[in-house]
Amino acid sequence: MRQSDLLSSMAIHDKLSKVIALLLPYRLLINVAVHALLFALSYAYSILLINGLVADGTALGIFYNSVLPLILLRLLVFYWHDLYQGLWRYVSFEDMINIIRAVVISSLLFYCVGLVWERAGVAEELYILDMTFSIMCTGGIRFLMRSFRERFYHHRPVEAVKRVLLVGPLDKIQPVLKEFVGDPQGNFLPMAVVDPLKSGDTSLTRVCDVPVISIEQVLAGNRKYSEVDSVIFCWPEGHRRQVDAVVERLKPLAVPFKTIPHIDDILKGRVSINDVREVEIEDLLERPPVQIEMNKISAYLKGKTVLVTGGGGSIGSEICRQVAGFEPRKLVVVERSENSLYDLLLEFRRDFPKTDLSASISSVNDAQGLKALMSEHRVDVVFHAAAYKHVPLMEPAPVESAYNNIEGTFNVAGAAVAAGVKRFVMISTDKAVNPANVMGVTKRIAEMVVQSSNGGATRFMTVRFGNVLGSAGSVIPIFKRQIQDGDAVTVTHPDIERFFMTIPEAVQLVLQAGCMGSGGEIYVLDMGRPVRILHLAERLITLSGKRPYEDVDIVFTGLRPGEKMFEELFNDAEQLQPTSHPRIRTAVSMPVDKARLESQLAQIKQLIRGKQGKALLARFHELVPGYHCPADQAETTLVACGPGHARVDALADTVSPVALHPVAHSGK
């Protein structure tokens, strides 16, 4: 193509892009209107041919008396055959068969209608001619549109095209494949369709002129299939165990694994076929969908003022998002980190402009400030997600951990009672069960504080669950960063296991638990089966297009101080009882001795003020007899209750004498 022609083509392309962007939301309406016009023109031309190309009164009478029912019948039958969803980018043999079938069926129906009502002199030949022209017009315009796009709308550079394998069963992949093949601007060139449900040699099968092959054929050594840039799953609703099995079998390709958006979103123009994303570890974990009682949750959130502590953290910010969907009267966010709070404000202005959000840069350690804040806004519901969560950081800092997790919870609970809050829900952790570290034991004592606060007008409850995928500081982002940087992936122990849940599903169940019970309960979420961290690391390496132990090594660093091999969601002193929700259970234990707890809390506060870390550890053991700290920990513990104290290196477990200020109150 000459340069002038290329520039002309690009100019037309730019204009077309703007026009298409404007028309895209009305695609279905335009498709229906174009088809109706084509049906009318085909019928009119057929009448003219029958009438010797003379548009006299007889021809016009036949047209006006019968064109409307014909168009309506054709439109309904075409809709029934799903012929309005195509983007006219690729015309397959199956499309033409559907068009012929739809035209024939609608013509037969039209003929039957003519038998019932007077046909106004309609000749038999008219039905045959109309069928022929309708098939030619509706099929021809698709070929015309494709040629037009390829002529004026195609200038992608060759080096930008990625060779890919598309994975999915044939009945699911056809409409997606048409998008890939027929999009001249697309970034992907399908080399083959891999049907995971087939085996052996399937090379004789083709869809949209793309070969359909089995996984065995991919691995057979054909460079056309094995030397691709990525594997794209066109199977968004596929069973996660099946997707995981395909990833395992195609691991030798050493290419990234991606997935497409849902096909309905593509066909409706919400997203492009090129908007593929990386396959995340969440896509492979076997997690049943969460079902929640929307009416019951709405009953205690809609039109109410909701306060969230730690609202800038992973869990806290998701609580804010999901609460906003229930139309609260006001959402009050308590957060110590100004950056996290600012990011949340920007997000809400963009995504939830109708939500009345009040942002408060404040701390759960400010008891009087919390009481004033809750009274000022007349808070109805509190979600307490603010906590220190990092085990290695908290292990040598029991003073700061107690100050935030224990005294902070005491302050929030006290402010809720003083302000007449109706419901109080605290986020807890599986590390509070048989705690083996400072963070876990402080959260267990926080659970006791919440339980002992129940009994008045405020319903207090705790929701306990394990790790959430993708939260700040969790293993998944750390592993991804190590893989991206070309470093070895570090795992503490080859057999260590953890419970995992996605952040949205955990918060859904937290909101569900908030509408249950009469107060004082500890709810335990069903986390499914525990997952080996080593398996997660290996899978993430594979998904990134690398080979574990070859391209990326895995190094075992040993358990960190306070780290357990296996986490638990309840202990031997607790009995699990079912609730009205299948994925939420209640951990029933002996009631908390409120008088003894208050006495111990008073002593803990004094020890915090005196920065007496060793004495705090002993007090923790008195309150939670199952807690045992390492013997040498008391000798190395430094406290951080203000400036001039300690900072801990979480990886090296060392302490350096620099100032440490609390950075953020964040959820799990």
- The residues assigned a catalytic role are 431
Q: Where are the alpha helices (DSSP H) in 153-283?
A: 170-182, 215-218, 223-226, 240-249, 263-267
Closest CA to 524 of 606, 455, 432: 432
CB-based burial of residue 219 (10 Å sphere; 0-12 exposed, 13-18 middle, 19+ buried)? middle
Closest CA to 275 of 178, 190, 194, 186: 186
Checking 538-543 for CB contacts under 8 A at 24+ apart, the result is: 539/244, 539/247, 539/281, 539/284, 540/281, 540/476, 540/479, 540/480, 540/483, 540/489, 541/483, 541/489, 542/247, 542/248, 542/251, 542/257, 543/247, 543/256, 543/257, 543/278, 543/279, 543/280, 543/281
Rounded CA-CA distance 667/662 in Å is 14
Inter-CA distances, 89 with 154, 587, 656, Å: 12, 58, 63
Closest CA to 401 of 388, 386, 385: 388
How far is C-alpha 245 from the geometric centre of its chain's CA atoms? 21
Q: Are 416 and 519 in contact (CB under 8 A)?
A: no
Rounded CA-CA distance 149/183 in Å is 9
Closest CA to 596 of 619, 575, 563: 619
- Residue 162 DSSP SS3: strand
- Rounded to a whole number of angstroms, the CA Rg of the chain reads 33
User: Hey, what are 64's tokens?
Assistant: 């006006």
